[in-house]
Structure formats: C-alpha cells, structure tokens
Amino acid sequence: MTDTLFSLAFVLAAPTWALLIFAPGWRWTDRVAASVLPIVPIVLVYMALALPAFPELWEAVRRPDLAAFQGFTALDGGAAAIWAQVIAWDLFIGQWMYREGRRLRIHPLLMGPVLLLSILLSPIGVLLFLAIRALAQVHSDRQGCRPLPHLIRRPEPDPHAPPPAEAHSTGS
C-alpha cells in the first residue's frame, strides 16, 4: 500500500504540471493554476501515509532533530509521507510561479524549462524563477525602457493595430 501511495502522489500532480508546462495560456490551464483543488488529493495521500505514524511525525517536527527525523523516514510510510508533502508543496509553488509568469508576461518558452526544473529540483527552480521574476519586474516598472528580449518577455499587443481579420464564409 505504501508503494502505491508513494507513486500516486506524483501521478496526481502530473496532469497539472503538464498543463502548466505544455498548455500555457489555455483557459483551463489558467483555471487549474488558480485553484487549490489539484493539491487536495495529494494532501490526502500525505495524510493517509502520515496519520498512522503521527506520534513519530509529531516528535520529529515538534523539536526538529535529525535523529528523530531520520527515525520517522525509516518507518513504513514515513519517507513516502515526506515525498507526498514535497510533491504537494512543489505543485503549489509551481502554480504560483505559473500565475506570476503569466502576470509578468514571461515567455512560456522560458517558463516551461523553469517549471520542469522545479519539478525535479524545486529549490533551484524557485531560485531561478525568482531571479527571472525580479528581472521582469524591473523592466516592467521602468518608464521608457526597452522591453526584454522576446524569449524572456512576450511582446505586448499593439493597441493601435487593427483587429485581426475574421474569416467570412461566402455562400455558394
């Protein structure tokens, strides 16, 4: 059962990650990224793994001690519970990064690899995103500055450009 729950944690997160990386800007992706619902099943997996060993978990987190934490992760379900917690947290952070990237108009070709890195090595991905975010904010806050290169920042639509021509069907 522990192995199944361990695997299930990432399986539950994978569809949301796929949307964030491969379908940016799709209205359903934006809705999913703004919702806490994708995290809930992963937290339930965490609870299923952590609750049976709650006294040991509480001891490990009440007064953080490496030996107590190692003892908890050695329990059946202990390491899997920590894994589910990491998966839920990473997804939560990934959804925030996606929303911030969209708000700051950071190009999806840059955000995709950053999000992928965040799945694999979350602290490094988050640190990289924070640097990109700071750069994007500096450039968006400056008056009269040149926009960031198109790879980093999507071009703003020209408000003076004519609307795109709509296709009209002609009768036979």
Give 60-104 pLDDT, tens digit per residue: 999 888 998 899 999 989 999 999 999 999 999 999 999 999 999
All residues at 6 or more sequence positions from 145 whose CB lies less than 8 Å from its CB, including other chains:
139
pTM for this predicted structure: 0.80
When pLDDT is cut at 50, 70 and 90, the band that residue 144 belongs to is very low
Q: Which residue has the higher pLDDT, 50 or 169?
A: 50
Q: Bridge partners of 153?
A: 106
Q: Which residue has the higher pLDDT, 125 or 159?
A: 125
Token pair 């990473």: residue: 90
* pLDDT at residue number 139: 74
- What's the burial of 76, exposed, middle or buried (CB within 10 Å: 0-12/13-18/19+)? exposed
When pLDDT is cut at 50, 70 and 90, the band that residue 143 belongs to is very low
When pLDDT is cut at 50, 70 and 90, the band that residue 155 belongs to is low
Give 8-36 pLDDT, tens digit per residue: 999 999 999 999 999 998 999 999 999 99
Q: HEC string of 33-101?
A: HCCCHHHHHHHHHHHHHHHHHHHHHHHHHHCCCHHHHHHHHHCCCHHHHHHHHHHHHHHHHHHHHHHHH
Question: Which pair of tokens denotes residue 114?
Answer: 């950053």
All residues at 6 or more sequence positions from 12 whose CB lies less than 8 Å from its CB, including other chains:
38, 41, 42, 45, 87
For the segment 142-164, the average pLDDT, to the nearest whole number, is 56
Checking if the pLDDT of 170 tops 90, the result is no
Q: Is 147 helix (H, G, I), strand (E, B) or coil?
A: coil
Average pLDDT, the chain: 88
